[in-house]
Amino acid sequence: MKPIRIAIIGFGKIAEDQHLPAISANPRFELAATSSRTGHGVEPIFEDWRELLQSIEGLEAVAITTPPSVRHEIAAACIEAGLHVLMEKPPTSTLSEVEDLICLAEAKGVTLFGTWHSRHNPSVPIAAQALAGKRIAEMQIRWQEDVHKWHPGQRWIWDAGGFGVFDPGINALSIVTAIFPGSLFVRSAQLSVPANAETPVAAEIDFASDVADGPLHASFDFLRTDGEEWTIDIRTTDGRSIFLKEGGARLFVDGAEQDVSGPGEYPDIYREFVDLIDQRRSSVDVTPLRLVADSYLAASHTTVEPITS
């Protein structure tokens, strides 16, 4: 079977660390080109993605790994060109943009895949099954990391539309919305915004749910240098406990660690992208982005110390 010729648009850290190895290891793909405004990438490299689209013969798909604010324009042009489109998370800066892309892809008959890499941990379907049909007594999410370690020099995170601590926090939301046995609503959100930033460096969010009898809380912190933690702790009213740690890489059910070996997040993303293309289907779940938007709608704000870069 002829491999799918794919290009990476916006070749930065996540493309180099994750998308490139995952594409290279998947025989169903052939990397045809890359683009980045800095000229960084794998040959042939284009500084202008429009030139890439015009120049590469037989291109069938793109992975868009730019910052979210420019993705709608790029994805809309790629869909218009008849390409299958994979987007890093979050798919776009705004909800209207992703809803528009869903319509465009459906009209054009191409595959649109809004990825949530954290959902590709094997722990996620196991946790979902363990919670199915249960009532929830308590949930505590802690997503606390050192921004300077994981996003060195990435100023866009602090600019308008840059998501701040919701850039990692949306990964927690993408897992929770996949495993929680009912709807989640943002009840309140306390955002801490650095004096020199437009986006929060920390967020304390309380949720409500039709299937919960106790507190549902998320604590996002982007300035945790010691004791980084990416955990989701859920107890059901009938005494079951679900504990995800290391961003979903490890899972404990009732205290016992589960076997969650798998191909890895990004290899599994590209496996699913092949399936979606083969079946001419799209997969775009806006729920995690909607919960971020809802956190802003419900937010109260505290100004905190300026962020250093």
Q: State the catalytic residues.
A: 89
Helix, strand, coil percentages, rounded to 5, for the chain: 35, 30, 35
Q: Of the candidates 67, 59, 86, 78, which has an alpha carbon nearest to the alpha carbon of residue 14? A: 67
Q: Which of 24, 54, 129, 183 binds its own copies (CB under 8 A)?
A: 183
Is 74 an interacting residue with respect to its own copies (CB under 8 A)? no
Provide the mask over 187-216, with x wherever binding to its own copies is found by CB under 8 A and - wherever it is not. Answer: -xx---x----x-----------x------
Q: Which of 24, 55, 96, 225 binds its own copies (CB under 8 A)?
A: 96
Task: Check if the beta carbon of residue 309 is closer than 8 Å to that of residue 153.
Answer: yes
Name the minimum Å distance from CB 98 to its own copies. 10
Binding its own copies (rule: CB under 8 A), the pick from 38, 261, 279, 300 is 300
Cα–Cα distance, 100 to 208 (Å, whole number): 29
Q: Does 77 bind its own copies (CB under 8 A)?
A: no
Min. distance of Cβ 183 from its own copies in angstroms?
A: 5
Q: Do 118 and 174 touch, CB atoms closer than 8 A?
A: yes
For 227, the 3-state DSSP assignment is coil
Note whether 108 binds its own copies by CB under 8 A.
no
Q: Which two tokens stand for residue 87?
A: 């987007």
Q: Does position 260 bind its own copies by CB under 8 A?
A: no
Residue of 79, 105, 186, 232 interacting with its own copies (CB under 8 A) = 186
Contact 7, 52 (CB under 8 A): yes
CB atoms within 10 A of CB 96: 10
Residue 52, judged by CB atoms within 10 A of its CB (0-12, 13-18, 19+), counts as buried
Q: Does 294 bind its own copies (CB under 8 A)?
A: yes
Minimal distance, residue 96 CB to its own copies, in Å: 5
Q: Which is nearer to its own copies, 76 or 304 (CB)?
A: 76
Binding its own copies by CB under 8 A: which of 225, 301, 306, 309? 301
Say how many residues touch its own copies, by CB under 8 A. Answer: 34
Strands annotated E in 145-215: 185-194, 202-208
Residue (254 or 305) nearer to its own copies, CB:
305
- The verdict on 48 binding its own copies (CB under 8 A) reads no
What is the distance between the alpha carbons of residues 131 and 125, in angstroms, rounded to a whole number? Answer: 10
Whether the Cβ atoms of residue 303 and residue 33 lie closer than 8 Å to each other: no
Using CB under 8 A, which residues numbered 124 to 163 contact its own copies?
Answer: 159-161
With binding defined as CB under 8 A, does residue 229 bind its own copies? no
Whether 218 contacts 232, CB under 8 Å: no
Identify the three-state secondary structure at position 18.
helix
Q: Is 79 in the site for its own copies (CB under 8 A)?
A: no
Question: Could you say whether residue 109 binds its own copies (CB under 8 A)?
Answer: no
Name 206's Cβ contacts closer than 8 Å, sequence gap at least 6.
186, 187, 188, 189, 215, 216, 217
Per CB under 8 A, 25 contacts its own copies: no
Q: Applying CB under 8 A, does 33 fall inside the site for its own copies? A: no
Interface with its own copies (CB under 8 A), residue from 42, 45, 77, 95 = 95
| Residue 185 makes contact with its own copies by CB under 8 A | yes
Contacting positions for its own copies (CB under 8 A): 72, 76, 93-97, 99-100, 159-161, 183-186, 188-189, 193, 198, 210, 287, 290-294, 296-301, 303
